[in-house]
Amino acid sequence: MTKNVPAPAPRPLRAALVALGGSLVIAACGGGGNDGPVFPIIPPAPAPAPAPAPAPAPQPSPLGTLDGSVPLVIGHRGLPGLFPEETQKAYEAAADAGADSLETDLHLTKDCVLVARHNPWLSDNTNVADVAKTNATVAGRKRTVPGVLVDVKYPPVADNGPPQYLSDLTDPKDPKSVLKSLIVDGEDHTNDWSITDFTMGELKQWIAGTTYDAADQRPTELNGKLPILSFQEVIDIAKAKSKSTGRALTIYPETKNPIWNNAQAIANGCGVAGSHPLEDALLKIMAANDLNRKDAPIFVQSFEPESLKYLRTAGLKARAVQLVDGNAIDFKTGEMIYVTNDVYTFVDGRPYSWTLAGNPKWFGEMLTPAGLAEVKTYADGIGPWKPQVMAHTIVPFKDKGTLADVNTIKPTALIADAHKAGLIVHSYTFRNEAKYLAGVFKGDPVAEYLAYFRAGIDGVFSDFANTAFAARQAYLKETGR
């Protein structure tokens, strides 16, 4: 039979620890008997909770450009805000200031060389008038024969503009008669000098570039001191600056006044009747410089759709941009005004080829969804005037208001419509001078750039690449870049 032995009374320490509900482990130390002292073993502190994962970095807000890329800064004629336009100094300064692209206008010289100059008449962007005072050869090349008036082929009603336009074809039986007058796309420049009356060598020897826009406000100390450039020289500058800056600069040539240039070139023996010497010369120099590729660092631009269409049929593979002009702004509605009662109907209201063909439509036709779809068949983008992209209005409206009175700007549907059609939008021309800025910008050119960048513009033609670059940096910063 088993003997029952009463359990010993708990020791005070044990009792106290048991009372803790087993939250600590009890261990015997010493001789191993029940009578030895016992001590609590304190477990290690629990591992600290892991630090919360850092919050993800905020993502930059998307850009509104067609492909989400950074909008281009296009050095319009180089950096003419600070240096004589379309000269080596202007182009190099534009590249150094951060321009992505060097823009230039192209004409053909008497010896069939592509030359970089804005207007084909020379008195407003070169020192030719001063040279003529002491150079009898230059003085003798002034064109003094007046043009002739030609009836338009479309209905001669007020809505279509003037019923007649000026032509330099003073003798329809003699194609070379165009070398006597100086009428360019209906614009009269009698008593001026034509770039097509000089060889490239003569231009280099005798004539130098000057400022043009805002000539009374821009630096003039280099006027008449920097030579005129060939297009090949512009290409070479872009290549050299691409290498020295580590940035792939593009060039942005315009076939300027192509109908006039081709007639002049044919009369000078640069091509046969019906040919396109200006465009053919461009394609030739592009091929020689490996620029006729879809991804080549070049954009070919023109206000004349027939020029771009010919280039495509003749083998142009590089990107092309259809420029779009206008004459004025209706500050009450923000809409464009294309028809005028003067020569600018033919110069800025419609492509000159449309006038010759009897087509009374305006540049604005290109900016409709149907017009943009047509442009897409031969070009990769459009180059509209700034108020075609951003409506300029005066609210409340006042009669005889000016650009300085514009207090409201609002994006039109153009960027969205062009992007929907797969076209980039490069707008012109951004300048720093107050007279070119809508009043709403309060004389701050950066504010104007920011408005267009925020609207999703793909690129800006700027006379001040330094200001455009700074404005783009500010825009990228506000988008989180």
Listed in sequence order, the residues at least 6 apart from 240 whose beta carbon sits closer than 8 Å to its beta carbon are none
Going by C-alpha positions, the residue among 474, 472, 461, 459 that lies closest to residue 66 is: 459
Question: Of all residues in the chain, what percent are helix, strand and coil, respectively (each to 5)?
Answer: 35, 20, 50
Task: State the CB neighbour count (10 A cutoff) for residue 104.
Answer: 30
Is the overall model pTM greater than 0.75, yes or no? yes
pLDDT at res. 43: 61
Burial class from Cβ neighbours inside 10 Å (0-12, 13-18, 19+) for residue 332 reads middle
Phi and psi at 411, nearest 5°, equal -60, 135
Strands 336-337, 328-329: pairing is antiparallel
Q: Are 449 and 475 contacting, i.e. CB atoms less than 8 angstroms apart?
A: yes
Partnered with residue 383 across adjacent β-strands are 323
Rounded Cα distance between 191 and 203, Å, is 18
pLDDT at res. 41: 59
pLDDT at res. 95: 98
Listed in sequence order, the residues at least 6 apart from 411 whose beta carbon sits closer than 8 Å to its beta carbon are 389, 390, 391, 455, 456
Partnered with residue 322 across adjacent β-strands are 302, 382
Going by C-alpha positions, the residue among 408, 324, 396 that lies closest to residue 367 is: 324
Q: Where are the beta strands (DSSP E) in 266-387?
A: 299-302, 319-324, 328-329, 336-337, 381-384
Q: At what angle do helices 305-313 and 277-288 cross, to 10 degrees?
A: 50
Q: Are 86 and 105 contacting, i.e. CB atoms less than 8 angstroms apart?
A: yes
Collapse the DSSP code of 148 into the 3-class scheme (helix H, G, I; strand E, B; otherwise coil) and give the result: strand
Which residue positions in the chain have pLDDT lower than 50? 1-34, 39
Query: Is residue 396 reached through a cis peptide bond, with omega within 30 degrees of 0 on the bond before it?
Result: yes
Rounded Cα distance between 308 and 314, Å, is 10
Going by C-alpha positions, the residue among 201, 302, 210, 219 that lies closest to residue 260 is: 302
- Calculated CA dihedral for residues 454, 456, 461, 462, nearest 10 degrees: 10
pLDDT digits (tens, 9 = 90+) for 324-365: 999 999 999 999 999 999 999 999 999 999 999 999 999 999
Backbone angle region of 106, left / alpha / beta, with phi > 0 → left and psi within -120 to 50 → alpha: beta
Q: Residue 187: which H helix or E strand, with range?
A: strand 187-188
Phi and psi at 150, nearest 5°, equal -125, 135
pLDDT at res. 44: 63
How far, rounded to the nearest angstrom, does the alpha carbon of residue 458 sit from its chain's CA centroid? Answer: 7
pLDDT at res. 59: 84
pLDDT at res. 236: 98
Listed in sequence order, the residues at least 6 apart from 72 whose beta carbon sits closer than 8 Å to its beta carbon are 100, 101, 250, 426, 458, 459, 460
Using alpha carbons, list the distances in angstroms from residue 254 to 79, 175, 258, 316. Answer: 17, 25, 9, 14
First to last CA, the chain: 92
